[in-house]
Amino acid sequence: MSWCFETDSEFQEKLSWITKFTREEIEPLDLVFREPGDPWDPASPAARAMAPLKKTVKKNGLWACHIGPELGGEGYGQVKLALMNEILGRSRFGPSVFGCQAPDSGNAEILAHFGTPEQKTKYLKPLLDGEIASCYSMTEPQAGSDPAEFTCRAQRDGDEWVINGEKWFASHARFAEFLLVMVVTDQDLPIYEGASIFLIEQGTPGMEILRNSAVGPYAEQGDGVHGYIRFTDCRVPAKNLLGEEGNGFLVAQTRLGGGRVHHAMRSVAVLKKAMDMMCERVLSRTTKGELLAQKQLTQEKIADSYTQILQFRLHVLYTAWLIDKYKEYNREVRKEIAAIKAATPRVLQDVIYRAMHLHGSLGMSDEVPLMNMWANIPEMGVVDGPSEVHKVTVARTVLRDHEPAADVFPTYHTPTQRARAMQKYGHYLNKNGRAESTA
Ligand SMILES: Cc1cc2nc3c(=O)[nH]c(=O)nc-3n(C[C@H](O)[C@H](O)[C@H](O)COP(=O)(O)OP(=O)(O)OC[C@H]3O[C@@H](n4cnc5c(N)ncnc54)[C@H](O)[C@@H]3O)c2cc1C
């Protein structure tokens, strides 16, 4: 029997180092580099500032450590990655400095599994080394949650595929060296059998970025990182189809589950950061002759936040543990991934709102990071599929383990159950020790 909530002392030492390094070296980057693409764009000034930090991380054996040793990582698995991410998520630069940033980490997994040797040499190695960026593009302007509505398609023409259509919100497309794009290859089949993933190199004729959207109200329109892309007779070699034709969703599964868990892991860091701010503030501010911390309505906010964060964190770690245990994403693993994905925006909303509220006017000003955290919550409910879709996955899986009642009254109908129980134990109620009629 093993059931353990402890971190071994050797890894705890690493976590302590990561905490100090993140607070002292990485978090200041957020205050200097504020363009939407800064953490990911290899050509940004931030990339130069990050380079020595990445070197230090590599020297300490903590670079891309969720990836297996065969690809140059440490093979730490998801639980250790969760413990790291709940520190790294304090900064938007954290994952990039440690080589575990989305969408590159998931794209590397796809390339490792399905890329040709030539593609691996050209793209996988520099991607894993953090030298280039990549993009994963599936969503279309008219369709996101429901892939059956996708229309961007490819037709085979000799040794090439010809792609026509549009893609939307393709993160990092403008500075990605290559894009992994989900395209319909057989429109007569259901989408889960009729779509494939293509590797499309940046600069391929026929691929055009129409504009770049940003999340949030950025003053300069168009400098966001989410590309609106049009493909017009865009030709890609047949070898750029990853995996089997029609297996796009199978290939995508290699990355989507991981991505969803990683958002939740990083959200734990955001929650802890908001909680720290909330606690410091209520211990510092006096109102009506006493600290805010001494008011019971404040204490309720602290207690509720603490409990929600702990519940969420344990759920995230449990899910990470399940992935490590079962490796492939089976039904149970998918259920938990969907559950924490759907829980993420709700817990962020509750805790960050309380933290902002307890800071009063300062909380919603641009002088503390809370408003920024608040502005990032909605994307957690939509990115990698909206909460509704994940809740449907959870509910369907939960319901599979239950059956309808055989009778008009439920199995837990008290009079029926009591009658059976009386037959078993009722005689203890009688002096003579015989079962009593329950009629
Ligand atoms: C920050 C960010 C980064 C992103 N990066 C990428 C990327 O790199 N690549 C990529 O391909 N995509 C990316 N996306 C797009 C993302 O995957 C889609 O936004 C998501 O799949 C939802 O699709 P949609 O935006 O078209 O919303 P829609 O599908 O139009 O859904 C809108 C709303 O309708 C409701 N809804 C939808 N389906 C159901 C249902 N079955 N039951 C009940 N209600 C439902 C929900 O309230 C949902 O929020 C990104 C999105 C964000 C916010």
For the chain, the domain total comes to 4
> Does any domain span residue 40?
yes
Chain center to CA of 125? 24
The predicted-structure confidence for 7-54, as pLDDT tens digits, reads as follows 999 999 999 999 999 999 999 999 999 999 999 999 999 999 999 999
Question: Which CA distances in Å does 61 have to 69, 78, 266, 284?
Answer: 11, 16, 21, 40
Among 22, 167, 162, which Cα is nearest to 92's?
22
Residue 364, domain CATH: 1.20.140.10
Instruction: For residues 435 and 180, give the distance between their C-alpha atoms in angstroms, rounded to a whole number.
Output: 72
- Is the pLDDT at 389 greater than 80, yes or no? yes
One domain for residues 231 and 300: no
Nearest residue (by CA) to ligand 1, atom 46, is 386
> Does any domain span residue 202?
yes
One domain for residues 260 and 221: no
Instruction: For residues 126 and 204, give the distance between their C-alpha atoms in angstroms, rounded to a whole number.
Output: 20
Residue 83, domain CATH: 1.10.540.10
CA of 228 to the centre of ligand 1 (A): 14
pLDDT band, residue 218 (cuts 50/70/90) = low
Instruction: For residues 326 and 79, give the distance between their C-alpha atoms in angstroms, rounded to a whole number.
Output: 13
One domain for residues 95 and 180: no
Among 16, 36, 171, 4, which Cα is nearest to 104's?
171
Residue 388 near ligand 1, beta carbon < 6 Å? yes
Instruction: For residues 374 and 349, give the distance between their C-alpha atoms in angstroms, rounded to a whole number.
Output: 7
One domain for residues 64 and 181: no
> Does any domain span residue 28?
yes
Of 242, 272, 306, the residue at which a domain comes to its end is 242
CA angle, 310 then 260 then 16, to 5°: 50
> Does any domain span residue 119?
no
Residue 152, domain CATH: 2.40.110.10
Other C-beta atoms lying within 10 Å of the C-beta of residue 264: 27
Residue 282: phi, psi to the nearest 5?
Answer: -70, -20
> Does any domain span residue 127?
no
Q: Longest Cα pair distance anywhere in the chain, in angstroms? A: 94
Residue 386 near ligand 1, beta carbon < 6 Å? yes
Partner residues linked to 362 by β-bridges: none
One domain for residues 237 and 283: no
Of 56, 80, 101, the residue at which a domain comes to its end is 101
pLDDT band, residue 328 (cuts 50/70/90) = low
Report the nearest atom of ligand 1 relative to the CA of 142.
26
Instruction: For residues 226 and 174, give the distance between their C-alpha atoms in angstroms, rounded to a whole number.
Output: 8
CA of 397 to the centre of ligand 1 (A): 22
Residue 212 near ligand 1, beta carbon < 6 Å? no
- Is the pLDDT at 5 greater than 80, yes or no? yes
| Residue whose tokens read 């040793």 | 69
Among 107, 98, 154, which Cα is nearest to 127's?
107
pLDDT band, residue 257 (cuts 50/70/90) = low
Of 79, 101, 123, the residue at which a domain comes to its end is 101
Sign of CA dihedral 322, 323, 329, 333: positive
Domain extent, residue 424, equals 411-439
| Residue whose tokens read 């009063």 | 360
> Does any domain span residue 122?
no
Residue 389 near ligand 1, beta carbon < 6 Å? yes
Question: What pLDDT score was predicted for residue 405?
Answer: 96
Under DSSP, the state recorded for 432 is: T
Residue 145 near ligand 1, beta carbon < 6 Å? yes
Any idea how long the chain is? 439
Residue 384 near ligand 1, beta carbon < 6 Å? yes
Determine the number of helices (DSSP H) and then strands (DSSP E) in the chain.
Answer: 16, 10
> Does any domain span residue 25?
yes
Instruction: With beta carbons less than 8 A apart as the criterion, state whether 284 and 362 touch.
Output: no
One domain for residues 97 and 147: no
Instruction: For residues 356 and 170, give the distance between their C-alpha atoms in angstroms, rounded to a whole number.
Output: 31
Nearest residue (by CA) to ligand 1, atom 50, is 383
The predicted-structure confidence for 284-319, as pLDDT tens digits, reads as follows 999 999 999 999 999 999 999 999 999 999 999 999
Q: Burial level of 2, CB count in 10 A (0-12/13-18/19+)?
A: exposed
Among 178, 179, 191, 180, which Cα is nearest to 151's?
191
One domain for residues 344 and 206: no
Beta-strand ranges (E) seen in 172-296 are 176-184, 195-201, 207-213, 226-237, 241-242, 286-287, 290-291
Q: What is the mean pLDDT of the chain?
A: 94
One domain for residues 91 and 146: no
One domain for residues 254 and 347: yes
Residue 149 near ligand 1, beta carbon < 6 Å? no
SS3 category, 197: strand
Question: What pLDDT score was predicted for residue 80?
Answer: 95
| Residue whose tokens read 């940033």 | 101
One domain for residues 256 and 381: yes
pLDDT band, residue 216 (cuts 50/70/90) = confident
pLDDT band, residue 256 (cuts 50/70/90) = low
Task: Give pairs for 395-401: CB < 8 Å, separation 24+.
Answer: 397/331, 397/332, 397/334, 397/335, 397/338, 398/335, 400/331
Q: Does residue 103 have a cis bond before it (omega within 30 degrees)?
A: yes
Question: What pLDDT score was predicted for residue 430?
Answer: 79
Q: What share of the chain is helix, strand, coil (3-state, %, to 5)?
A: 55, 15, 30
Question: Which CA distances in Å does 323 have to 67, 78, 333?
Answer: 14, 7, 6
Name the residue of 145, 152, 387, 391 to mutate for ligand 1: max ligand atoms within 8 A of Cβ. 145
One domain for residues 236 and 342: no
One domain for residues 389 and 419: no
Instruction: For residues 157 and 164, give the distance between their C-alpha atoms in angstroms, rounded to a whole number.
Output: 13
> Does any domain span residue 213?
yes
